[in-house]
């Protein structure tokens, strides 16, 4: 008997983050003294699962860890947030690790060693076929093999949210199931280049100097490729939401930035949580912007995510940069 899809399933990466704080990032060939090193749970998939569960969503994580010194910490945040971890497999390689450097301005650089995340194969995904099919919202990122993202999407009966971070090569049909596709400005430019066959270096370079009008244009151009909806995250400037009926600009509140690590994951997890609770996409993005802003206020990814008892920053006024009805997508 088939039941109505419910809850959130995240298929994705699980890491231990080795977070180093330092005054500034070193130049190539330079040695610097850092300040602190802390090991925290991370991985874009696990971060998104924790962000969603913290906001009350019933959340299941599908992925893989190794059996080494980092396994316990990598899973600790999922356990603490009450995420269902029963589908996570233990494989014979090391748990994924990320070296995260955070400078005094809160900006980070991240090097990821995938380890067990590379073992999230289509076969591992197929072992959770029913769980994926039963999800109201399936959430995916780019830190597991593209074939496994495609296998997950093929099993989905509910809504599919793809946060293509990092950008990997997905087949067009898989990618276009995203509703929404969630990307930052760099990722958006790269995905657009992938879909239109243009030179990927040009739009990515351009994204560094692009203004709001350029971001809106990229978001619209992505939508024109066939997505039902596209959300572009713009860090401290909030987010853009494009759907068939609208292009909304959703500004972020001004907050003190301590560490931006995992703020995009907090955004995506919150977005999925609100969608699974029945919000419109526009309302879900509004909450996600506030959750992302909250998450930059303390160090680390998962430890910085709000729960239902935390006070989110107040929302600034929302403006629509095109006319039209707000989307109910
Ligand atoms: O988005 C932040 C995450 O990226 C970190 O937690 C790290 O593990 C990498 O996956």
State whether the beta carbon of 187 lies less than 6 angstroms from ligand 1. Answer: no
User: Is residue 147 in some structural domain?
Assistant: yes
Residue 37 clears pLDDT 60, i.e. is over it = yes
pLDDT in tens, 97-113: 999 999 998 889 999 99
H helices of 156-295, where?
Answer: 172-175, 185-196, 201-209, 212-224, 263-276, 281-295
Closest ligand 1 atom to 261 CA: 2
Task: Output the CA 143–ligand 1 centroid distance in Å.
Answer: 9
Q: DSSP characters for 6-69? A: -SEEEE---EEEEEEE-SSPPPTT-----SEEEEEEE-HHHHHHHHHHHTT--EEEE-EE-SST
Residue 87 clears pLDDT 70, i.e. is over it = yes
Read off the CATH number of the domain in which 238 is found.
Answer: 3.40.1190.20
Q: In which band, very low, low, confident or very high, does the pLDDT at 208 lie, cut at 50, 70 and 90?
A: low
Residue 4 clears pLDDT 80, i.e. is over it = no
Q: For a pocket test of ligand 1, which of 10, 14, 38, 44 has the largest count of ligand atoms closer than 8 A to its C-beta?
A: 44
Q: Of 313, 317, 272, 274, whose CA–CA distance to 291 is shortest? A: 313
What angle is formed at CA 114 by the lines to CA 45 and CA 129, rounded to 5 degrees? 50
84 in active site: no
User: Is residue 19 in some structural domain?
Assistant: no
Residue 12 clears pLDDT 60, i.e. is over it = yes
CA distances from residue 261 to 95, 166, 305, 306 in whole angstroms, order as listed: 19, 14, 11, 14
More confident residue, 40 or 211: 40
Task: Output the CA 44–ligand 1 centroid distance in Å.
Answer: 5
Q: Which residues pair with 325 in a beta bridge?
A: none
pLDDT in tens, 238-284: 999 999 988 999 999 999 999 999 999 999 999 999 999 999 999 99
Residue nearest to atom 10 of ligand 1 (CA): 43
Per the structure, the complete domain to which residue 125 belongs is given by: 8-13+43-93+116-327
Query: Mean per-residue pLDDT for 1-21?
Result: 89
Query: Mean per-residue pLDDT for 142-157?
Result: 98
Task: Output the CA 312–ligand 1 centroid distance in Å.
Answer: 22
Q: What total of structural domains would you count in the chain?
A: 1
User: Is residue 121 in some structural domain?
Assistant: yes
Beta strands 239-243 and 36-42: pairing type? unpaired
User: Is residue 127 in some structural domain?
Assistant: yes
- pLDDT value of residue 161: 98
User: Is residue 37 in some structural domain?
Assistant: no
Q: In which band, very low, low, confident or very high, does the pLDDT at 131 lie, cut at 50, 70 and 90?
A: very high
User: Is residue 128 in some structural domain?
Assistant: yes
Q: Percent of the chain beyond pLDDT 70?
A: 92
Per annotation, catalytic residue among 171, 211, 265, 279: 265
User: Is residue 315 in some structural domain?
Assistant: yes
User: Is residue 153 in some structural domain?
Assistant: yes
pTM, to two decimals: 0.93
Asked whether the beta carbons of 75 and 40 are under 8 A apart, the reply is no
């Amino acid at each position: 008997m088939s039941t109505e899809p419910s809850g959130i399933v995240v298929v994705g990466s699980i890491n231990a983050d080795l977070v180093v704080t330092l005054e500034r990032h070193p130049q190539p060939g330079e040695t610097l003294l850092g300040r602190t090193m802390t090991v925290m749970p991370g991985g874009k998939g696990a971060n998104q699962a924790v962000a969603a569960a913290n906001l009350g969503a019933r959340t299941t994580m599908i992925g893989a860890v190794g059996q080494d010194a980092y396994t316990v910490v990598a899973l600790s945040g999922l356990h603490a947030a009450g995420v269902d971890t029963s589908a996570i497999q233990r494989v014979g390689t090391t748990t994924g690790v990320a070296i995260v450097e955070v400078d005094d301005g809160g900006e980070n650089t991240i090097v990821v060693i995938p380890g067990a995340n590379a073992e999230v194969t289509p076969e591992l995904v197929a072992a959770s076929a029913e769980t994926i099919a039963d999800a109201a919202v399936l959430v995916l990122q780019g830190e597991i093999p593209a074939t496994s993202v495609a296998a997950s999407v093929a099993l989905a009966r509910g809504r599919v949210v793809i946060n293509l971070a990092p950008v990997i090569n997905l087949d067009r049909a898989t990618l276009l199931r995203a509703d929404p596709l969630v990307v930052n400005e760099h990722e958006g430019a790269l995905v657009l280049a992938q879909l239109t066959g243009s030179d990927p270096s040009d739009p990515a370079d351009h994204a560094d100097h692009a203004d709001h009008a350029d971001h809106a244009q990229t978001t619209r151009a992505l939508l024109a490729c066939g997505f039902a909806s596209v959300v572009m995250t713009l860090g401290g400037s909030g987010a853009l939401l494009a759907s068939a009926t609208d292009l909304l600009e959703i500004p972020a509140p001004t907050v003190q930035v301590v560490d931006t690590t995992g703020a995009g994951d907090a955004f995506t997890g919150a977005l999925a949580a609100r969608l699974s609770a029945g919000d419109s996409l526009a309302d879900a993005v509004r909450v996600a912007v506030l959750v992302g802003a909250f998450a930059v206020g303390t160090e680390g990814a998962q430890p910085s995510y709000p729960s239902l008892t935390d006070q989110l920053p107040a929302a600034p006024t929302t403006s629509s940069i095109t006319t039209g009805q707000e989307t109910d997508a």
